[in-house]
Amino acid sequence: MTTNTSPESLYQEIILDHYRHPHHKGLRDPYDVEVHHVNPTCGDEVTVRVKVAEGPDGATVQDVSYDGQGCSISQASTSVMTDLVIGKPVDRALETSEAFLTLMQSRGQVEPDEDVLEDGIAFAGVSRYPARVKCALLGWMAWKDATAQAVGGTAPQDRTASRTTGGAA
Amino acid sequence: MTALLAQGTSYDVEAVRADFPVLTRVIGGRPLVYLDNASSSHKPRQVLDAERAFVEQHYSNVHRGVHTLSQEATDAYEAARTTVASFLGAADPHEVVFTKNATEAYNLVAYSFGNARAGSRFALGPGDEVCVTEMEHHSNLVPWQMLCERTGATLRWIPLTDEGRLDLSELETLVNERTKVLAFVHVSNILGTANPVETLVARAREVGAFVLVDGAQSAPHQVVDVQALGADFFVATGHKMLAPSGIGVLWGRRELLDAMPPFLGGGSMIEVVQMGGSTYAPAPERFEAGTPVISQAVALAAACDYLREVGLDRITAHEQVLTARLLEGLRDLDGVSVIGPDSLHSRGSAVSFAVEGVHPHDVGQSLDELGIAVRVGHHCAAPVCRRYGVPATTRASSYLYNTEGEIDALLEGIRTVQRFWS
């Protein structure tokens, strides 16, 4: 198990690198929207902040910061996500998000485009493990939610409340 | 198997294993090591054969027809009830209600109480209390939360000690004259803790509270005698005790079941139906609306027979050997801590642990690559994880077919995981 880094295997070096040395981690100001998403089946949590600003190509993802706890897949995937969306026009960032979602839902049947997904292609193997796909999507879905709110101007409190599960009993 | 396991001989785990076809599986190039029994157990040939024989030759709907198959199916279904009643030490088969799973059984009691008219001994309202424990499975927690929301009653809970046991220091305050129901888990699915039923039942009796015991993790592994436990309700589930999924068991005192309002309405649970209203059948039919879980009940009875043939006491003793080996092995590993009782005293075979610096999902995935099946996550007991400050745990839970060699494989697997993730 320890030396298996073939393209099909789950724990690619790129994933392990992002897990051990995450990019853009730690919550930062300024931000427009903060969301908190959880994976109720495993308890993984992520808080994502998004700052959107007008750029030359329209609304642009100026910054994404996050904090969270979870497995290597969820943490590394969130790290890769920040690399892929920060600085991009929102439209293009959403396209990248869709490409990642498509890859995750492919059950290993889609050849990822490295030009679009960069380090994200390392997650191709995750799509063969349906139980782990939600881990890989946690940060992406949180970012997408926060960005939609930032662009659409939806009250963040309402949206995040409906997405947040758990609570002390 | 029977001959090999005659009383007085040593426990022949290989003879038991030979009855479980799945144990020949190879995963990741290695023999399957199945240590996820607290989640669901595998089924022996005897259970599979019994279900198949019933479905192939005797199946029909039950309690509905005059034809031969209908009668045979009804007889088999009711015989299954008698077998399960006897397995649980019930005084009367009418005290056994078949449900779709354990979750439905807790909901059955909670909704039935919620359906009671004001003034009924089952009714709850503002000022009344329901007490649970902090180590409940969500299935024995959320239905009570919902009941309290519907009725205005207050939910209280017995907290946990650092060791993973119930902190009973405030028991007399938490279970008091206002308490209508005390619901608690017999053996915890996440901590492995076996709770002091006698103490809890005694306190509930002092204040006149109904008592429900969640036996999902006890009935598969030890002799259960519901009359000796002294509770009012006891819940078990088939799939954790060698039977198929799709069947749960609620045992309740007959006098209570016959007086409680129904939960689900429909066919089979009625006496007289008129357009203006209906009267209800006595228990257990009152609580088995619609076509019941017929072939699953037959299979569950076969599972009870199998467990008794092997011997519940012998199974308990075998699991204690495995659990001792696992606890000792985990203690010897640096960076591994057990969440729950660290000794064999009053505990079952489920052992949760944390591997420092490695998320349980990664522990579980890496162990799977070695053919070892464990459970990772919050085990439907999220408040327990919160209590001990972990997002999730890795849990190994053994059963009658596990071996000491498999425990050693797990321990070696954890060392491999630690090397990979260091």
Asked if pLDDT for residue A153 goes beyond 90, the answer is no
What is the token pair recorded at B235? Answer: 């819940």
Burial zone of A59 (CB within 10 Å; 0-12 exposed, 13-18 middle, 19+ buried): middle
Biggest CA pair distance of chain B: 70
End-to-end CA distance of chain A: 40
- Predicted local distance difference test score (pLDDT) of residue B4: 46
Q: pLDDT-based confidence at A160, cuts 50/70/90?
A: very low
Chain A residue numbers touching B28 (CB-CB < 8 A): 1
Q: How far is CA B327 from each of CA B218, B348, B351, B372, rounded to the nearest angstrom? A: 19, 12, 8, 17
The pLDDT > 70 percentage for chain B reads: 98
Within the 347-366 window of chain B, which residues sit less than 8 Å (CB to CB) from chain A? 359-362, 365-366
Q: Using CB atoms, pick whichever of B362, B378, B416 lies closest to residue A2.
A: B416
| In B254-403, alpha helices (H) | 254-259, 294-310, 312-331, 360-368, 382-387
Q: What is the pLDDT of residues A52-65, one digit of tens each?
A: 999 888 999 999 99
A73/chain B closest Cα distance in angstroms: 8
Asked if pLDDT for residue A117 goes beyond 60, the answer is yes
Q: pLDDT-based confidence at A40, cuts 50/70/90?
A: confident
Residue to substitute from B134, B157, B365, interface A, most A β-carbons within 10 A: B365
Range with lowest mean pLDDT among B3-7, B275-279, B322-326, B336-340:
B3-7
What is the token pair recorded at B144? Answer: 């009570």
Asked if pLDDT for residue B43 goes beyond 70, the answer is yes
Cis previous bond, B44, omega within 30: no
In chain B, which residues fall in CATH 3.90.1150.10? 2-40+311-421
A135 touches chain B (CB under 8 A): yes
Asked if pLDDT for residue B8 goes beyond 70, the answer is no
In chain B, which residues fall in CATH 3.40.640.10? 49-308
Mean pLDDT score, A88-96: 96
- Predicted local distance difference test score (pLDDT) of residue A9: 75
A167/chain B closest Cα distance in angstroms: 9
Q: pLDDT-based confidence at B3, cuts 50/70/90?
A: very low
**B377–A41 C-beta distance less than 8 A:** yes
**B369–A1 C-beta distance less than 8 A:** yes
Asked if pLDDT for residue A1 goes beyond 70, the answer is no
Range with lowest mean pLDDT among A16-25, A104-113, B292-301:
A104-113
- CATH among 3.40.50.720, 3.30.2350.10, 3.40.50.11540, 3.40.640.10 for B49-308: 3.40.640.10
Range with lowest mean pLDDT among A109-113, B199-203, B268-272, B299-303:
A109-113
- Predicted local distance difference test score (pLDDT) of residue A167: 29
Mean pLDDT score, B212-235: 98
- Predicted local distance difference test score (pLDDT) of residue A67: 96
**B362–A71 C-beta distance less than 8 A:** yes
Q: Using CB atoms, pick whichever of B359, B385, B416 lies closest to residue A72.
A: B359
Q: How many CB atoms lie within 10 A of CB B272?
A: 9
Q: How many CB atoms lie within 10 A of CB B2?
A: 8
- Predicted local distance difference test score (pLDDT) of residue B103: 98
- CATH among 3.40.50.10490, 3.30.420.40, 3.10.450.710, 3.90.1150.10 for B2-40+311-421: 3.90.1150.10
Mean pLDDT score, B364-382: 94
3-state secondary structure of A82: helix
Q: pLDDT-based confidence at A163, cuts 50/70/90?
A: very low
Q: What is the pLDDT of residues A118-136, one digit of tens each?
A: 999 999 999 988 889 999 9
Helix, strand, coil fractions of chain B, as percent rounded to 5: 40, 20, 40
Chain B residue numbers touching A38 (CB-CB < 8 A): none
- Predicted local distance difference test score (pLDDT) of residue B367: 96
What is the token pair recorded at B137? Answer: 């499975």
Q: What is the pLDDT of residues B75-103, one digit of tens each?
A: 999 999 999 999 999 999 999 999 999 99
CA A34 and chain centroid, separation: 14
Mean pLDDT score, B309-329: 98
Mean pLDDT score, B397-407: 98
**Whole-angstrom distance, CA of residue B395 vs CA of residue B330:** 12
Task: Report, as residue numbers or ranges, the catalytic residues of B.
Answer: 380
Over chain B, what is the mean pLDDT? 96
Q: pLDDT-based confidence at A51, cuts 50/70/90?
A: very high
A43 touches chain B (CB under 8 A): yes
Q: pLDDT-based confidence at A7, cuts 50/70/90?
A: low
- Higher-scoring residue by pLDDT: A31, A165: A31
Chain A residue numbers touching B145 (CB-CB < 8 A): 169
Q: What is the pLDDT of residues B116-140, one digit of tens each?
A: 999 999 999 999 999 999 999 999 9
Over chain A, what is the mean pLDDT? 86
